[in-house]
Amino acid sequence: MAERRKFLLDESEMPTSWYNVLPDLPEPLPPVLHPATGKPVTPDDLAPIFPMALIEQEMSQERWIEIPEEVQEVYKLWRPTPLFRAKRLEEALDTPARIYYKYEGVSPPGSHKPNTAVAQAYYNKKEGVKRLTTETGAGQWGSALAFGCNLFGLECKVYMVKVSYHQKPYRRVLMETWGAKVVPSPSEDTEAGRKVLQEDPDCPGSLGIAISEAVEDAATHDDTNYSLGSVLNHVLLHQTIVGLEAKKQMEMAGDYPDIIVGCIGGGSNFAGLFLPFIKDKLEGKKEDLRVICVEPEACPTLTKGPYAYDYGDEAGLTPLLKMYTLGHNFVPPPIHAGGLRYHGMAPIICHLYNLGKVEAVARHQTQVFEAAIKFARAEGFVPAPEPAHAVRVTIEEALKCKESGEPKVILLALSGHGHFDLAAYDAYLAGKLEDYELPKEEIEEALKGLPKVPA
CATH numeric code, 79-110+233-445: 3.40.50.1100
pLDDT of residue 2: 60
pLDDT of residue 206: 85
Is the pTM for the entire model greater than 0.85? yes
Q: pLDDT tens digit string along 38-92? A: 899 999 998 888 999 999 999 999 999 999 999 999 999 999 999 999 999 999 9
Q: pLDDT tens digit string along 103-133? A: 999 999 999 999 999 999 999 999 999 999 9
**pLDDT higher than threshold 80 for residue 254:** yes
**pLDDT higher than threshold 70 for residue 33:** yes
438 pLDDT band, cuts 50/70/90, is: confident
Q: pLDDT tens digit string along 378-394? A: 999 999 999 999 999 99
Return mean pLDDT, the chain: 93
**pLDDT higher than threshold 70 for residue 336:** no
**pLDDT higher than threshold 50 for residue 440:** yes
Nearest residue to 413 via CA among 276, 273, 281, 289? 273
**pLDDT higher than threshold 70 for residue 408:** yes
pLDDT of residue 446: 84
Fold topology of 114-228: Rossmann fold (3.40.50)
Centroid of chain to Cα 404? 32
Q: pLDDT tens digit string along 176-215? A: 999 999 999 999 999 999 999 999 999 988 888 898 899 9
Q: What residue ranges of the chain are covered by domains with CATH 3.40.50.1100?
A: 79-110+233-445, 114-228
- What CA–CA distance (Å, rounded) separates 357 from 48? 35
- What CA–CA distance (Å, rounded) separates 117 from 146? 8
pLDDT of residue 318: 82
- What CA–CA distance (Å, rounded) separates 124 from 134? 13
Q: pLDDT tens digit string along 145-184? A: 999 999 999 999 999 999 889 888 899 999 999 999 999 9
pLDDT of residue 349: 98
pLDDT of residue 35: 86
**pLDDT higher than threshold 80 for residue 3:** no
**pLDDT higher than threshold 50 for residue 1:** no
Around Cβ 347, how many Cβ atoms within 10 Å? 22
Q: pLDDT tens digit string along 419-433? A: 988 988 999 999 998
Cα-Cα end-to-end distance for the chain: 63
Quick one: what percent of the chain has pLDDT higher than 90?
A: 80
CA atoms within 13 A on the CB side of 55: 16
**pLDDT higher than threshold 80 for residue 140:** yes
Of residues 12 and 314, which shows the higher confidence score?
Answer: 12
pLDDT of residue 445: 86
